[in-house]
Homo-oligomer: A and B are copies of this chain.
Amino acid sequence: MPKKLRLGILGGGGDSLIGVLHRVASQINDNYEIVGAVFNPDYKANKAFAREIDVPLNRIYEDFDTFIKEEMKLPENERIQVCSVLTPNFLHYPMALKLLENGFHVICEKPMTTTLDEAKKLQKAHKKAGTVFALTHTYTGYPMVRQMREMIKAGVLGKIHKVDAVYYQGWINTIIHDKKKRASVWRLDPKKAGISSCIGDIGVHAFNMVEYTTGLKVKSILSDFNYLYKDNAMDVDGTVLIRMAEHVKGVIRSSQVATGEENGLAIAIYGEKAAFRWEQENPNFLYVLSDTKPTQVYKPGHAYNSKLSLEGTKLPPGHPEGIFDSMANIYKGAAKAIRGRKFNDGEFPTMLDGVRGMNFIEATVASHKGGNVWVQLE
């Protein structure tokens, strides 16, 4: 019987944008009911927010420890089954770890942890727990991203020889050029935000997109960061040369000072037989290029799309679905896994994506600090 999964939420209260994204996504396919939460570290704000969005107050907990303690007291058929971790980055690891150790399924925001070491520890805990762990690299939920993955798997591109991914934003311009602002914002404080700003926050999405779509692993990287100002300790721009399987090379570009860019995530993949071009801000258009035939524009919801792609489309062609629908597709895949149903490889990013991402972030920092040298990924 398809009773909705009992979902708990950690973080994402108030005006949190990531909170809206996950909450809406969880409701889109009739799979989840939010039954408990710690939306906010402040208990009062936490409860006020629960009231605002009409979540029953009885399982709105004072803090994460209470959440775990109280939920574990409940009988299994009442207990929260899956918990979304939407807290600031440095809390992902301890929370996800404890959740896994207590047998919960976990849906976790990226970056999964703040270090590769944490990521590996979490991976171990996950193996032991045997529950479902989904990492919300949101963009992988877009039907046309899934379409790329499936077409590459099916050999439509032939051998790949070049990959070019980018994630450009401009928003940090409002901070970085003001000496006071850049000194005071937590985003540019390594103690609070981790070892990387640009790569850690967005470059890693481009990296994940490369591995998700091609099915190939990045083997080594060479990066050059830009901090723009000497008194700024965090990268706000970074270009990363990548090497994948033999003779496959590419580049990952990311920037937070790309003036006027919003969420400029895009990928181009060039293969022996054909190529792809896709942009996040026009997510429903996938360009399939050829040296000899007219470019083809794939759109979602068509009979010509792959099963995995169609699984992520709710309406017929011509009805634009967006980022909420993309995230909802990840939640949908996770729900299948949690319910022990059959799901397709690629329906949601996993623990492995999280480990790979942390590996990438640390490698790019090491490469830049080492003088722009090649660094192997594990």
Q: Cβ of A376 < 8 Å from any Cβ of B?
A: no
- A277, chain B: closest CB distance, angstroms: 8
Considering the complex, give the chain B residue whose CB is closest to the CB of A283. B320
- Contact A262/B173 with A30-B23, A164-B253, A323-B315 known, Cβ cut-off 8 Å: no
* CB atoms of B324 and A321 under 8 A apart: yes
Q: Contacting A322 at CB < 8 Å: which of B247, B260, B319?
A: B319
Residues of chain B within 8 A of A294, CB atoms compared: 288, 296-299, 302, 304
Shortest distance between the CB of A114 and any CB in chain B (Å):
24
Which residues in chain A, 219-259, are within 8 Å of chain B measured between CB atoms? Answer: 222, 224, 226-229, 237, 239, 241, 247, 249-251, 253, 255, 257-259
Select A280's contact among B20, B171, B282, B320, beta carbons within 8 Å. Answer: B320
Asked if B249 and A251 make an inter-chain contact with CB atoms under 8 angstroms apart, the answer reads no
- Secondary structure type dominating chain A contacts: loop
Question: When the two chains form the complex, which single residue of B23, B162, B296 contacts A255, counting CB atoms closer than 8 Å?
Answer: B162
In the assembled complex, A13 has its CB within 8 A of some CB on chain B: no
Residue A290 lies at the interface, judged by CB distance under 8 Å to chain B: yes
Contact of A226 among B4, B161, B257, B324 (CB under 8 A): B161
Q: A1-B51, A321-B323 are in contact. Are A295 and B297 (CB under 8 A)?
A: yes
Contacts of A174 in B (CB 8 A): 291
A263 within 8 A of B: yes
Residues of chain B within 8 A (CB-CB) of A322 are 319-322, 324-325
Task: Specify which of B1, B257, B264, B273 is in contact with A318 (CB 8 Å cutoff).
Answer: B264
- CA–CA, A318 to B282, complex, Å? 10
Q: Which of B226, B255, B318 contacts A263 (CB 8 A)?
A: B318
Bound CA span A228–B173, Å = 39
**A253 and B251 contacting across the interface, CB-CB below 8 Å:** yes
Verify B319–A263 contact, CB threshold 8 A.
yes
Chain A residues close to B by CB (< 8 Å): 1-4, 17, 20-21, 23-24, 27-28, 30, 33, 51-54, 157, 161-162, 164, 168-171, 173-174, 177, 222, 224, 226-229, 237, 239, 241, 247, 249-251, 253, 255, 257-264, 268, 270-275, 280-284, 288-299, 302-304, 314-325, 372, 374
